[in-house]
Structure 1
Amino acid sequence: MTASPARSSRLLIGSAVLLAVAGIVLLVVPHGQESPAPETSSTVTADQSAAASLPSEDKSAAAASVSASPAVPTPSVLESALPPHGEGVRGDMAVQQSLEAAWPSDLPDADERQLLTAGRALLRADATGVGRTKWPDVFPDTDQAVAPAFATVGFRIQAAIARRDGSPDKAVVHLVWAGTDRGGTYTDLRITDLFFTLTPKKGEPTWTPQPRI
């Protein structure tokens, strides 16, 4: 039996409507499933932002820590830990302890003893003029009459340590001392650094002082 034109028309329209509805459903369902994606994306972005902010905070904290605890003490830091001026011999032990606490030992005992002996003698020669002939490379003008900058009487080395200066063959002797200058002014807690290089020789190596600039 053949369907009437009206019924065929209704079937076509109904089929078209069903297809349209099915298409809308297919379009809407994936979109609904993907809708949480922005939340995930925003969460990841927030986490990434928080993670990106951490290094700068860590760097700031590290910088604050370094600023609070310098790796290499400076003279101003050392001076703040020393006893007050005019303390006299009674304060020398505190000075020595401050030096040793600021710069931990890093030299063999034999090298440190040799450097301390040379450093003390060199400083005394430089300040008072006594014993300069022993150091012709450091004091080339020993034949000339040179008035010492400090009097022999009252000169005192309050503390001294010897440490490496960046490499195994370089060292520095840190000295804290007191003395009276040509004008008669007595001052303690003076700080002087003397530099040495290791000279290879047969037997015991020798630490040679460097000319002062």
Structure 2
Amino acid sequence: MTTAPRSSRLLLLSTVVLAVAGIALLGVPHGQPPAAATATASHATTDPSSAAAVAPAGKPAASTDPSPTSAASIPPSVLESALPPHGEGVAGDRAVQQNLEAAWPADFPADDERELLTAGRALLRADATGVGRVKWPTIFPDSGVAVAPAFATARFRIQAAIARRDGNSDRAVVHLVWAGMDRGGTFTDLRITDWHFTRTIKKGTTTWTPQPRS
């Protein structure tokens, strides 16, 4: 279900995107080069327990984008002001969405992106709240069994989502930032989850198939 971050790379990605978001929200003073605004994501799967919105793992390693910014070079003030404060509520969601889109411009046709986002949102809701699991029996083998949801449906909210290529045009990653209250009554926003998809073409029809989370 939800696990703690499993890679030190997640911390670097979080720092990089925090810098991007901070610059986007705070603005860059006139004449000052926006050194912290360049970022490239490597392949990595993030988990929904982080307290910062990080970049999706869908950017190819052999990218022509600028090199990642060193975490050591980012001023603490930028990190602290990067995203809306925890508990900001719906009012802060737009900033999170805009920062993700600014850091990783769209690279899929509109139809593909729409399909991926619809599926990614539904998968996240099913994973967190248990609602709609029967639609993906291969992803949720326990979909026919009564399972206590990890998060309350009424307090679940997707704050932002983007769909991007995951190395090539036949692979995609949907990156979601969300908020929810767990069974213990703790509400946390800016959680992160990635869902990976592969493209299959059957009888001329393209379908995006979600991959089980490891």
Q: Do these two structures clear the TM 0.5 threshold for a shared fold by scoring above it?
A: yes
Q: CA RMSD in A?
A: 2.4
Segments of structure 2 that go 5 or more residues without pairing to the other structure are 1-33, 47-51, 56-78
Q: Which amino acid aligns with 1:105?
A: A
Cα distance in 2 for residues equivalent to 1:120 and 1:209: 12
Q: Which amino acid aligns with 2:118?
A: T
- C-alpha contact 1:173 1:194 (8 A) present in aligned 2: yes
- C-alpha contact 2:53 2:190 (8 A) present in aligned 1: no
Segments of structure 1 that go 5 or more residues without pairing to the other structure are 1-64
- C-alpha contact 2:53 2:177 (8 A) present in aligned 1: no
Check if 1:151 corresponds to 2:149: no
- C-alpha contact 2:126 2:133 (8 A) present in aligned 1: yes
Check if 1:69 corresponds to 2:70: no
Map of 1:55 onto structure 2: none
Cα distance in 2 for residues equivalent to 1:163 and 1:107: 7
Map of 2:179 onto structure 1: 178
Q: Which amino acid aligns with 1:209?
A: P
Deviation of 1:77 after TM superposition, in Å, equals: 7.6
User: Who wins on radius of gyration, i.e. which is larger?
Assistant: 1
Cα distance in 2 for residues equivalent to 1:180 and 1:77: 17
Helix, strand or coil: the match of 2:98? helix
Cα 1:170–1:148 change in 2 (3 A) is same
Cα distance in 1 for residues equivalent to 2:177 and 2:92: 12
Identity level (%): 71
Cα distance in 2 for residues equivalent to 1:182 and 1:147: 9
Cα 1:91–1:207 change in 2 (3 A) is same
Cα displacement string for residues 5-40 of structure 1 (whole angstroms, at most 9, x for unaligned residues): xxxxxxxxxxxxxxxxxxxxxxxxxxxxxxxxxxxx
- C-alpha contact 1:78 1:98 (8 A) present in aligned 2: no
Q: Which amino acid aligns with 1:184?
A: G
Deviation of 1:204 after TM superposition, in Å, equals: 3.4
Cα distance in 2 for residues equivalent to 1:71 and 1:136: 34
**Structure with the higher helix share, 1 or 2:** 1
Map of 1:40 onto structure 2: none
Cα 1:209–1:142 change in 2 (3 A) is same
* TM-score, normalization by structure 1: 0.65
Cα 1:93–1:125 change in 2 (3 A) is same
Cα distance in 2 for residues equivalent to 1:124 and 1:68: 31
* TM-score, normalization by structure 2: 0.64
Helix, strand or coil: the match of 1:86? coil
Helix, strand or coil: the match of 2:161? strand
Q: Which amino acid aligns with 1:117?
A: T
Deviation of 1:72 after TM superposition, in Å, equals: 2.1
Helix, strand or coil: the match of 2:202? coil
Deviation of 1:97 after TM superposition, in Å, equals: 0.2
Deviation of 1:146 after TM superposition, in Å, equals: 1.4
Helix, strand or coil: the match of 1:189? strand
Superposed, 1:11-90 pairs within 5 Å as: 69-72=38-41, 78=54, 80=79, 81-90=82-91
Deviation of 1:135 after TM superposition, in Å, equals: 0.5
Q: Which has the higher contact order (CA 8 A, sep 6+)?
A: 2
- C-alpha contact 1:106 1:164 (8 A) present in aligned 2: yes
